[in-house]
Amino acid sequence: MGRRERPVLVYDGDCGFCTSSVRFMERHVPTSAEAVAFQFADLDALGTTAERAGHEVLWIDRAGRVSGGAEAVGRLLTDAGGPWRPLGVIIRVAPVSWAARGVYRLIADNRQRMPGGTAACMLPAAQRPGPAARD
């Protein structure tokens, strides 16, 4: 896992809420990251697993370091710069980071109930409909 040209944001492409959130990010948050659904990513090359990617959004920086959940969101916002940068930094600093982790987990655990969420969001990644190759 050498250096990469740009960071990668890995999300659950089977989850409607996750996909909608990434589409919003692509339209409104000027990050340098490439967004890729974990179902289509080379997770080994990215240094992560399908289990982790199905559990939380992941940020893989240019050096190959993997951050997940609220930390990943904070790193994405920091990378975007401008007015997003202070929010990204604040999300990653205690005590705000503690609350951010709790809110992230609450949303992630209930994403099937969120706007755009589907029943597939409740299933373990291996049981979700979609591409058969999830290795």
Encode pLDDT of 82-116 as tens digits.
999 999 999 999 999 999 999 999 999 888 777 66
Encode pLDDT of 29-72 as tens digits.
999 999 999 999 999 999 999 999 999 999 999 999 999 999 99
**Residue 4: per-residue pLDDT:** 79
For residues 37 and 13, the answer to whether their CB atoms sit within 8 Å is yes
Encode pLDDT of 117-133 as tens digits.
555 555 555 554 444 44
Return the HEC string of 20-60: HHHHHHHHHCCCCCEEEEHHHCCHHHHCCCHHHHHHCCEEE
Task: List the one residue out of 56, 90, 85, 84 whose CA is nearest residue 72.
Answer: 56
